[in-house]
Chains A and B, each alone.
Chain A
Amino acid sequence: MRVEVRLYASFAEHAPTHRAGDAFYVDLEATDSLLNLISRLGIAAKDVHLSMVNGRVVYDRSQILQDKDRIGLFPPVGGG
């Protein structure tokens, strides 16, 4: 399966273009979880503060991903 990924804030350095919010695609096994994806991207799981799958915040990282899922990963962010 193939998922669509966007990395934000300081995670942008792990993206192919090194730019926050640029979409790229990752091929995964059918049994891969969110956590598997995070490690494939070279990001330390403890640094991930928020994960979004299809616009929904997901706190359970063992969630198995589906083909065409849209994933967004964030370090701690806040603002107003």
Chain B
Amino acid sequence: MTYGAMTGTKTHSLKGENMDRFLRINMTNRTAKFEPVPAQYKDRAGRWLTSSIVHDEVPATCHPLGPNNKLVFSPGIVTGTSSPTSSRISVGGKSPLTGGIKEANAGTGWSRRLVRLGIRALIIEGKADGLWLLKIDKNGAQFEAADSHAGARLSEVYPPLFTRFGGLKTVDVCSIGVAGENRMSAAGICFNDQDGRPTRYAGRGGLGAVMGSKGLKFIVVDDAGAEGVAIAKQDVFDAGRKKMAAALTEHAITKPRGALNSYGTAVLVNIINEAGALPTHNFRSGRFDGAAKIAGEAIFEGNKERTGKELYNHACSPGCIIQCSNTWHRPDGSEHSSCVEYESAWALGANCGIDNLDQVAEMNLLCNEYGLDTIEIGGAIAVAMEGGVAAFGDGARAIELVHEIGKATPLGKILGAGALVTGKAFGVARVPHVKGQNMPAYEPRAIKGIGMTYAISTMGADHTAGYTIAPEMLGVSGKLDPLDPNKTELARAFQYATAFIDTTGHCLFIAFAILDIASGFEGMVEECNGVLGTNWTADDVGRIGKEVLDLELDFNRKAGFTKADDRLPEFMTYEPLPPHNVVWDVPDAELDKVFG
């Protein structure tokens, strides 16, 4: 499939402009406007900037799918530089899944290209009829109709786009799938990986539905001729970058051929299962008999058997040292699915009682094809299984259910609206969510600090809001007892530090190295100082993190959230979780203390 020449579009030139601009797109009349970065947003990028703009510009009570919501993209502070593992893009808006503020991020060269064009934030406003492609390059922004791509699988639409726009060397592509086109609350926003696979997602919270509601199908970014990212203090930056690279290369989890590079994030399946904290059969148990069959080790061994060689993982985005992104192969050795993350293997596997890796990989592939968040979909299918739609463990039926979502049938639309809606539709009381977002792959009854994080996070149940799993389970940056409920300080400190990492443009997985290796942490701050010319210290990490969270909390308050929303679902307080037979027992007063 090819496109005709771009016609009937307005071009807004970037030439002669200073670096560091906002690009504001109005989808209603399809115009684009460059603006200088307002003074109050100086030094802000990534999550700090998306949450600032959403807080300041989006009416908190607006409908997430209406014309007053905005979708904001922002690369991090060091994205686009030579800093390792820093090609993240933050995407923000009001979430149709939670009704609160949302930041979801992904690793992709798309982010790098955007910032190298001098675009600090891309703000999408208004609402168009039909579906559109937005192309951004050094000459400006152009629009063209994209209706002909509606309903297609993403692996079918990406290759012709690359062909048309000059290939992977020239462009990266952001897109929604059929789920976003149908404004489903479990729709994510897809970016291609380094090999052009449409597999890297800003997945959570339904931002794909927001993009769909605006009539925006694709954003193609071409950075040919771009000036790159200006660095204020090169020596400071270089020193910081070196410390960061050294920490990542040294730490056993992040180093080449280390745990993440060999086994991928799914290496966690076994450890969390052994700890009795792997949510199984829709959060009925913390142990899954088939866990080892869907774990990172099984992926590594299975690939070796099927391809005849040891496969180590690849970088999802340019400049990543950790390289945790895996592929799963069919019996004939051909590539089947990427990336089978811990969260996806769990959500589509253990949580649904499915221990067949080929079936889990197929569901993972279909989520990528249709533009879905694997966590929310695994959660919705497990809740549907609870409601009698399918039997736990029936992988063939579960695959059909994902196809129902891809066809946007009435059943598919219920599932695509997420676990909470699915629970209502099928009369299920056991819905493991906070603020409407399904919990990820750590049982809060068995790991109290992550439970506190789920409860109070501005994002709804989200492990990436503050990855307390590192000290609670993995012996990284501390050795805490997961069952100890006294984690108030921990839940606060981790959320602040994470909000800062999400602002730098680094992948959160740098945390393993920089929490254990002090010079790596210093390096992160120095890299930022180098780019911005600031004099931040470690104290500023907490200060900025708090500022980000305060903006998000304020937005959520204005959107109508109260303390009653900062709670885990009731069933967790009365259903003991095997094998430790523990209930959720952190007092509400402790939850309320986290953010004061």
Q: Is the CB of A6 within 8 A of B274?
A: yes
Question: What chain B residues lie within 8 Å of A6 (beta carbons)?
Answer: 270, 274
A80 and B297 in contact, given A8-B274, A55-B274, A55-B579 (Cβ under 8 angstroms): no
- B343 interface residue per 8 A CB criterion: yes
Chain A to chain B contacts (Cβ below 8 Å), 28 pairs? A6-B274, A8-B271, A9-B270, A9-B296, A19-B297, A21-B291, A21-B292, A21-B295, A21-B297, A22-B292, A50-B475, A52-B274, A52-B275, A55-B275, A57-B475, A57-B482, A59-B475, A72-B271, A74-B270, A75-B259, A76-B252, A77-B267, A77-B474, A78-B267, A78-B512, A79-B342, A80-B342, A80-B509
Q: Could you tell me the distance between the alpha carbons of A20 and B276 in the complex, rounded to whole angstroms?
A: 17
Contact with B along A52-80 (1 / 0, CB 8 A): 10011101000000000000101111111
Q: Could you tell me the distance between the alpha carbons of A17 and B580 in the complex, rounded to whole angstroms?
A: 28
Contact with A along B236-268 (1 / 0, CB 8 A): 000000000000000011100011101111111
Question: What chain B residues lie within 8 Å of A57 (beta carbons)?
Answer: 275, 473, 475, 479, 481-482
Q: Is the CB of A77 within 8 A of B276?
A: no
Question: What chain B residues lie within 8 Å of A43 (beta carbons)?
Answer: none
A79 and B324 in contact, given A21-B291, A22-B292, A57-B475 (Cβ under 8 angstroms): yes
Q: Could you tell me the distance between the alpha carbons of A9 and B296 in the complex, rounded to whole angstroms?
A: 8
Q: Could you tell me the distance between the alpha carbons of A75 and B260 in the complex, rounded to whole angstroms?
A: 12
A-contacting residues, B310-343, CB 8 Å:
324, 341-343
Q: Is the CB of B252 within 8 A of A75?
A: yes
Q: Is the CB of A9 within 8 A of B482?
A: no
- B128 interface residue per 8 A CB criterion: no
Question: What chain A residues lie within 8 Å of B343 (beta carbons)?
Answer: 80
Q: Count A-B pairs with CB separation below 8 Å.
A: 106
Q: Is the CB of A9 within 8 A of B275?
A: no
In the assembled complex, the CB of A50 is this many whole angstroms from the nearest CB of chain B, namely 6
Question: What chain B residues lie within 8 Å of A55 (beta carbons)?
Answer: 274-276, 286-287, 579-580
In the assembled complex, the CB of A78 is this many whole angstroms from the nearest CB of chain B, namely 4
Q: Could you tell me the distance between the alpha carbons of A77 and B270 in the complex, rounded to whole angstroms?
A: 10
- B470 interface residue per 8 A CB criterion: yes
A20 and B275 in contact, given A9-B297, A77-B474 (Cβ under 8 angstroms): no
A9 and B259 in contact, given A21-B292, A57-B475, A78-B476 (Cβ under 8 angstroms): yes
A49 and B252 in contact, given A9-B297, A19-B301, A75-B259 (Cβ under 8 angstroms): yes
Question: What chain A residues lie within 8 Å of B481 (beta carbons)?
Answer: 56-57
A79 and B463 in contact, given A9-B267, A57-B473 (Cβ under 8 angstroms): no
- B583 interface residue per 8 A CB criterion: no
Q: Could you tell me the distance between the alpha carbons of A42 and B223 in the complex, rounded to whole angstroms?
A: 54
Question: What chain A residues lie within 8 Å of B301 (beta carbons)?
Answer: 19-20
Contact with A along B505-525 (1 / 0, CB 8 A): 000110010000000000000
Q: Is the CB of A20 within 8 A of B292?
A: yes
Q: Could you tell me the distance between the alpha carbons of A80 and B343 in the complex, rounded to whole angstroms?
A: 7
Q: Is the CB of B297 within 8 A of A12?
A: yes
Binding site for A on B (CB under 8 A): 252-254, 258-260, 262-268, 270-271, 274-276, 286-287, 291-292, 295-298, 301, 324, 341-343, 463-464, 467, 470, 473-476, 479, 481-483, 508-509, 512, 579-580
Extra pairs beyond A78-B254, A79-B267 (15, CB < 8 Å): A9-B270, A20-B301, A21-B292, A72-B270, A74-B274, A75-B252, A76-B253, A78-B259, A78-B476, A78-B512, A79-B264, A79-B341, A80-B265, A80-B343, A80-B463
Q: Is the CB of B296 within 8 A of A79?
A: yes
A79 and B268 in contact, given A49-B475, A50-B474, A59-B479 (Cβ under 8 angstroms): yes
Q: Could you tell me the distance between the alpha carbons of A78 and B265 in the complex, rounded to whole angstroms?
A: 7
The count of residues in chain A whose C-beta lies closer than 8 Å to any C-beta of chain B is 24
Q: Could you tell me the distance between the alpha carbons of A12 and B512 in the complex, rounded to whole angstroms?
A: 23
Question: What chain B residues lie within 8 Å of A76 (beta carbons)?
Answer: 252-253, 258-259
Q: Could you tell me the distance between the alpha carbons of A80 and B479 in the complex, rounded to whole angstroms?
A: 18
In the assembled complex, the CB of A9 is this many whole angstroms from the nearest CB of chain B, namely 6
In the assembled complex, the CB of B370 is this many whole angstroms from the nearest CB of chain A, namely 23
Q: Is the CB of A77 within 8 A of B268?
A: yes
Question: What chain A residues lie within 8 Å of B254 (beta carbons)?
Answer: 78
Q: Could you tell me the distance between the alpha carbons of A56 and B482 in the complex, rounded to whole angstroms?
A: 9
Q: Could you tell me the distance between the alpha carbons of A10 and B267 in the complex, rounded to whole angstroms?
A: 11
Q: Is the CB of A80 within 8 A of B253?
A: no
Question: What chain A residues lie within 8 Å of B264 (beta carbons)?
Answer: 79
In the assembled complex, the CB of B495 is this many whole angstroms from the nearest CB of chain A, namely 16
Q: Could you tell me the distance between the alpha carbons of A15 and B474 in the complex, rounded to whole angstroms?
A: 22
B-contacting residues, A33-51, CB 8 Å:
49-50
Q: Could you tell me the distance between the alpha carbons of A8 and B272 in the complex, rounded to whole angstroms?
A: 12
Nearest residue (CB) in A for B297 is A20
Nearest residue (CB) in A for B274 is A72
B260 in complex: contacting residue of A50, A52, A74, A78, CB < 8 Å: A78
Q: Could you tell me the distance between the alpha carbons of A72 and B473 in the complex, rounded to whole angstroms?
A: 13
A78 and B292 in contact, given A6-B274, A8-B274, A55-B579 (Cβ under 8 angstroms): no
In the assembled complex, the CB of A14 is this many whole angstroms from the nearest CB of chain B, namely 13
Question: What chain A residues lie within 8 Å of B271 (beta carbons)?
Answer: 8, 50, 72, 74, 77
Question: What chain A residues lie within 8 Å of B274 (beta carbons)?
Answer: 6, 8, 52, 55, 72, 74
Q: Is the CB of A8 within 8 A of B270?
A: yes
Q: Is the CB of B474 within 8 A of A9?
A: no
In the assembled complex, the CB of B322 is this many whole angstroms from the nearest CB of chain A, namely 10
In the assembled complex, the CB of A80 is this many whole angstroms from the nearest CB of chain B, namely 5
Best-buried of B263, B266, B324, B341 by chain A (most CB within 10 Å): B263
Question: What chain B residues lie within 8 Å of A50 (beta carbons)?
Answer: 271, 474-475
